[in-house]
Amino acid sequence: QVQLVQSGAELKNPGASVKVSCKSSGYTFTNYFVHWVRQAPGQGLQWMGTINPDGGATSYARELQGRVNMTRDTSTNTVYMELRSLRSDDTSVYFCARGNQPSWYSYFQWWGQGTLVTVSS
């Protein structure tokens, strides 16, 4: 069955970078876009960006442009989300989610378990 397994929790200092992985299984990796969504403690859901694993094209939320980079490794069926210049307000749970079709416009059908990133000195 479809599974997205994310890397473990991270504790980072302000100004550092974090790279979260999302390993896919149970389907053809390049056939579905992968999205990243984050959730600050006690807050709602915020879309961060999307990557097309077939070719690697990306689209990012405007407020994260310049700080976020999404990549993929087709040999391991893994998508990565790197966030740089971390601030305390980046403390969140980060989720990857698979879309329902090979399109930018897809709903989030399958989700990873989430990765807590804490930014604190």
Residue 17 touches another protein, criterion: CB under 8 A: no
Tokens coding 58: 């990306």
Least Å distance, CB 3 to another protein, is 12
Signed CA dihedral, 28, 26, 105, 83: sign only = negative
Query: Hey, is 19 helix, strand or coil?
Result: strand
Among residue numbers 60 through 99, which ones bind another protein (CB under 8 A)?
A: 61-62, 95, 97
Residue 109 touches another protein, criterion: CB under 8 A: yes
Q: How many residues of this chain bind another protein (CB under 8 A)? A: 22
Residue 113 touches another protein, criterion: CB under 8 A: yes
Q: Which residues contact 106 (CB under 8 A, 6 or more apart)?
A: 32, 33, 35, 99, 100
Residue 45 touches another protein, criterion: CB under 8 A: yes
* Nearer to another protein among residue 25 and residue 113 (C-beta): 113
Residue 99: name the closest of 45, 47, 39 by CA.
47
Q: Of 8, 41, 44, 66, which one interacts with another protein (CB under 8 A)? A: 44
Q: Phi and psi at residue 62, in whole multiples of 5°?
A: -55, -40
Count the residues in the chain: 121
Q: Which residues bind another protein (CB under 8 A)?
A: 35, 37, 44-47, 59, 61-62, 95, 97, 100, 104-109, 111-114
